Structure 1
Amino acid sequence: MNINGSCQCGAIEYQVSGELLATLMCYCTECHKVSAGYGTMTVLIDQNNFKLNKGTLKLWQRSSDSGNMNRAHFCGDCGNRIYHQNPDKPDIIRLKTGTLGNSADYTPQAHLWLKSAPAWVLIPKDTLTFQTQPPLANLLALIKEQ
């Protein structure tokens, strides 16, 4: 599988190959800020399956709501976030689905940080839900069990 993506202005273009590990919707307070809305959807991929075809990503890092470090890779021209990465788990990229050319094709397998979600958010039945952020290994194991 090959998926293409880009930033809003087109200065960044990338390709993803291989299997997607998970599709997640996050409602943490930082995702509220990133999206200027109520949250972000990401796909988890192996970093070896990400190839930057055009442009240079800028880097900014912060501590996340879960206490982990979060490295944000983004376009220096339009500011569009492309992916996040935890430096303690650099092999996994949390790619922002809105940057994918086929972003409407993804359905979240789990919803995270529901304690920060707006009351009007409707979660489909039989979808994994978490009030905060579960450990990544546990989350991936639960998604595989579905």
Structure 2
Amino acid sequence: MSEFKLTGGCQCGAVRYVLTAPPLMAYACHCTECQRISASAFAPSCVVLQDTMQIEQGELSRFDWTVESGAHRYGEFCAACGVRIRHGSEPSQGIYSVRAGTLDDPKWATPAAHTWQSSALEWFTPPKDALLFDGQPTDYAPIVERYAKLMDLS
């Protein structure tokens, strides 16, 4: 079996990373925080285990904040160009959400679900077969399963 390697980085090239395992899932988040962070209608992300992601070049800067629920979040980005690379929670859940637009191979960014549809912009129409969630999912198993089928990982 060949070794898995998926690479990515920021816009200016200062930060480069490698994933040594496929993402667990990919989703598109429509929450107002992701809209602001991405300066877009929604933010596609891939969930990876922390120990499968290595920063090979450059340094990440960090921004911390507290969400409405009281949970602590952080985002890490290239200090030179400002591109968000990943974000996570504290205490750590052992995962990162990697911004899908930073992947060199965009096929891995195919969203298996659309979250926070309750704050999606009015003009957005989700794909007919998409898994849709009004807020944050409480069970990620259906998203992981759908992503595995989409990516032919099963």
Name the TM-score, length of structure 1 as normaliser: 0.90
Q: Secondary structure at the residue paired with 2:45?
A: strand
TM-aligned CA deviation for residue 145 of structure 1: 4.5
Q: How many matched pairs?
A: 143
C-alpha distance in structure 2 between counterparts of 1:128 and 1:24, whole Å: 9
Deviations 1:6-29 (A, max 9, x none): 111111000011131110100111
Q: Secondary structure at the residue paired with 1:86?
A: strand
Q: Secondary structure at the residue paired with 1:30?
A: helix
C-alpha distance in structure 2 between counterparts of 1:123 and 1:143, whole Å: 15
1:80 to 57, 73, 83: 83
Say whether residues 1:120 and 2:128 are aligned partners: no
2:101 to 98, 101, 115: 98
TM-aligned CA deviation for residue 47 of structure 1: 0.4
Conserved? CA contact 1:29–1:65, under 8 Å: no
Structure 1 alignment gaps of length 5 or more: none
TM-aligned CA deviation for residue 32 of structure 1: 1.1
Supply the AA of the counterpart residue of 2:55.
L
Conserved? CA contact 2:10–2:16, under 8 Å: yes
Structure 2 alignment gaps of length 5 or more: 147-154
Percent identity, aligned pairs only, is 34
Residues 144 and 97 of structure 1, relative CA distance in 2, 3 Å threshold:
closer
Report 1:1-146 matches (<5 A).
1-65=4-68, 67-135=70-138, 138-139=139-140, 141-146=141-146
TM-aligned CA deviation for residue 67 of structure 1: 4.1
